[in-house]
C-alpha cells in the first residue's frame, strides 16, 4: 500500500473567489504553517539546549578573580600602607561522578524524545487535516445530492399544482409534494453547516487566517475508493517499528531509566580535583585572617588537591527519589508494552472495517441503477395519475437513500484508509537522527 505523497510547497491565498486546494496542498501547508507543529519544532531547539546543561557536569570549571586594594596597619613591626593587586584562579575537574554517564545519555535521549514528539505532532496534525478534507468533500457532496433531489421534488410539486388547478387531482397530492420538497431544506442546511465547519478545521490545520469576507478554500476532487489488499502480519511488524508514538514510548522508558541512575549516583562518592593559583606581583601582602608575617604572600603560588565527599546517612532523600522514579519508569514500560500489543488488534479491526465498507459499496452500486429506473418510472406514472403521491415519495426516498449511502460508504472508506495510514505509521518518514542508537 502506498504511503501519502508530499509535494513541493503550495501556498494559496484566500480572495473573493474561493480557491480550490488538493489534499497534497493541504498536507504540505499543514507541515509548513500548523501552529502545533511550529511549537514542537521550538521544543526540539529547547531540548538541544537542555542537553548542553546535562553535559556540563562532565567539563571542568574555571574561575578567575582579580582582587585589588590597599592594606595597612601594624603587624610584626610593619606599619606601612601598601597598594596591592593580584590574580587568583580556580580550576576544578570531576574525577569520579557516577551521574556523568547517565547524564550524557539522558541529554541525547531527551533530544530524541523531542524529535519523536515533533513526529507525533506532525502525524496528529496531518491526520486531522486529512479527516477535515474528507469531511468537507463528503458534506459538499451530500449537499449536492440533497439539492438535486430537491429540484426533482419541486418539479413534481409544480406538476401536481398544475394537475390540481386543472382538476385532475385533489389538494392532498399537491400538499404532500410541497411538504416533501420542504423536508429537504433542513438536510441541505445541515450539510451546508457541516461543510463550513470542515472548511474552518482545514484553515486551522493549515495555519491560514479566516478572511473578513468569510471566503474559505474549496477542497478539490471527489471521494474515491479502490482495492485494498495487504499482508496484515507484515504491516503489523513494520508498524511496531515505524510508529512515532511507539518510538516515543520506548524513549520515555530510556529517559526514566537514566533519570533513575542519576538519582542513584547519590549513593556513590564524588571526587573532584582542584587547582588554585595565585599570581602576586608584589610581596608582603597579608593574607586574610593571618596573624604572623610568615603567613603573608611572598610570591606567586600554586596549590593542587582533591575533594572527596560521600553521603553517609541517606535519611530517605535518595532512596525515596529512586523509588518514585522507578515507579515512573515502570509506568512508561507498561504504556510501551500496551501500545505495541494493541497494534495488531487495531490493524485487524481497521482491515475488517474496510472490507465491510467495500461489501456495502458493492451492494449499493448494484441497486443504484434499479432505484433510479424505478424513481423515473413512478414519476412518469404519477404525471399520468397511475400511481399515488405516496408511491412517488417512497421511490424518491429509496433513490436518495442509495445515493447518500454510496457517498457515505466512500467517505467511511477514505476515513478508514486514513486511520490505517496513521495506525501503520505511514504519515511521515523519520529522520536518521530519530533512529540512531545512543550509547
Asked if 173 and 163 count as a contact pair (C-beta separation under 8 A), the reply is yes
Looking up cell 459499496 gives 361
pLDDT for 300 beyond 80: no
The CA-based dihedral angle spanning residues 293, 299, 304, 310, taken in that order and rounded to the nearest 10 degrees: 40
Higher per-residue pLDDT: 381 or 254: 254
pLDDT for 194 beyond 50: yes
pLDDT for 250 beyond 50: yes
Taking all residues of the chain, what is their mean pLDDT, rounded to a whole number?
78
List pLDDT tens digits, range 315-324.
777 888 889 8
For residue 164, give every residue at least 6 positions away whose Cβ sits within 8 Å of its Cβ, in sequence order, or none.
Answer: 170, 171, 173, 174
Task: Give 93's DSSP letter.
Answer: E
pLDDT attached to residue 236: 92
CA dihedral sign, ordered 342, 343, 348, 349: positive
Look up residue 268 and give its three cell numbers.
556513590
The model carries a pTM of 0.73
84-88, 215-219, 272-276, 298-302: the lowest-pLDDT one: 298-302
Instruction: Among 71-80, 229-238, 369-378, name the most confident range.
Output: 229-238
Task: Give 7's DSSP letter.
Answer: -
**Angle made by CA atoms 251, 256, 261, in degrees to the nearest 5:** 125
Give the CATH superfamily of 20-33+99-267+315-434: Outer membrane efflux proteins (OEP) (1.20.1600.10)
Task: Give 274's DSSP letter.
Answer: E
List pLDDT tens digits, range 322-362.
898 889 999 989 999 999 999 999 999 999 999 999 888 88
Looking up cell 600602607 gives 81
Question: What whole-number distance in Å separates Cα of residue 205 and Cα of residue 105?
Answer: 35
> Mean per-residue pLDDT for 234-257?
91
Higher per-residue pLDDT: 295 or 47: 47
Asked if 82 and 70 count as a contact pair (C-beta separation under 8 A), the reply is yes
Amino acid at each position: 500500500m502506498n504511503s501519502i505523497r508530499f509535494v513541493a510547497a503550495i501556498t494559496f491565498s484566500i480572495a473573493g473567489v474561493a480557491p480550490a486546494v488538493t489534499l497534497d496542498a493541504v498536507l504540505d501547508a499543514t507541515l509548513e504553517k500548523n501552529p502545533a507543529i511550529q511549537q514542537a519544532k521550538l521544543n526540539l531547539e529547547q531540548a538541544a539546549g537542555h542537553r548542553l546543561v546535562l553535559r556540563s557536569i562532565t567539563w571542568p570549571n574555571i574561575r578567575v578573580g582579580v582582587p585589588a586594594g590597599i592594606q595597612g596597619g601594624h603587624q610584626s613591626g610593619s606599619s606601612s600602607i601598601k597598594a596591592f593587586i593580584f590574580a587568583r584562579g580556580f580550576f576544578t575537574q570531576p574525577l569520579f561522578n557516577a551521574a556523568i554517564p547517565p547524564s550524557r545519555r539522558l541529554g541525547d535521549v531527551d533530544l530524541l524524545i523531542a524529535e519523536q514528539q515533533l513526529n507525533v505532532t506532525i502525524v496528529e496534525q496531518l491526520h486531522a487535516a486529512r479527516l477535515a478534507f474528507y469531511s468537507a468533500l463528503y458534506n459538499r457532496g451530500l449537499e449536492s445530492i440533497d439539492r438535486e433531489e430537491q429540484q426533482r421534488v419541486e418539479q413534481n410539486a409544480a406538476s401536481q399544482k398544475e394537475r390540481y388547478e386543472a382538476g385532475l387531482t385533489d389538494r392532498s397530492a399537491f400538499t404532500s409534494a410541497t411538504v416533501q420538497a420542504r423536508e429537504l431544506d433542513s438536510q441541505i442546511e445541515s450539510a451546508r453547516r457541516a461543510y463550513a465547519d470542515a472548511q474552518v478545521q482545514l484553515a486551522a490545520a493549515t495555519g491560514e487566517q479566516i478572511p473578513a469576507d468569510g471566503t474559505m478554500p474549496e477542497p478539490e476532487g471527489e471521494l474515491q475508493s479502490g482495492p485494498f489488499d495487504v499482508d496484515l502480519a507484515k504491516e503489523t511488524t513494520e508498524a511496531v517499528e515505524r510508529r512515532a508514538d511507539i518510538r516515543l514510548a520506548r524513549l520515555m522508558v530510556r529517559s526514566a531509566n537514566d533519570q533513575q541512575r542519576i538519582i542513584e549516583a547519590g549513593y556513590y562518592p564524588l571526587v573532584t580535583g582542584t587547582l588554585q593559583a595565585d599570581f602576586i606581583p608584589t610581596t608582603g601582602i597579608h593574607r586574610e585572617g593571618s596573624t604572623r608575617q610568615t603567613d603573608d604572600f611572598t610570591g606567586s603560588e600554586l596549590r593542587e588537591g582533591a575533594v572527596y565527599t560521600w553521603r553517609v546517612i541517606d535519611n530517605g532523600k535518595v532512596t525515596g527519589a529512586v523509588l518514585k522514579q522507578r515507579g515512573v519508569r515502570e509506568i512508561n514500560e507498561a504504556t510501551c508494552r500496551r501500545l505495541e500489543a494493541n497494534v495488531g488488534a487495531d490493524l485487524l479491526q481497521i482491515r475488517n472495517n474496510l472490507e465491510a465498507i467495500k461489501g456495502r459499496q458493492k451492494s449499493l452500486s448494484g441497486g443504484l441503477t434499479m432505484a433510479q429506473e424505478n424513481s423515473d418510472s413512478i414519476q412518469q406514472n404519477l404525471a399520468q395519475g397511475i400511481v399515488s403521491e405516496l408511491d412517488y415519495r417512497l421511490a424518491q426516498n429509496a433513490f436518495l437513500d442509495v445515493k447518500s449511502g454510496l457517498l457515505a460508504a466512500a467517505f467511511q472508506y477514505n476515513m478508514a484508509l486514513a486511520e490505517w495510514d496513521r495506525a501503520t505509521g505511514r504519515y511521515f518518514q523519520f529522520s536518521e537522527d530519530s533512529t540512531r542508537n545512543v550509547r
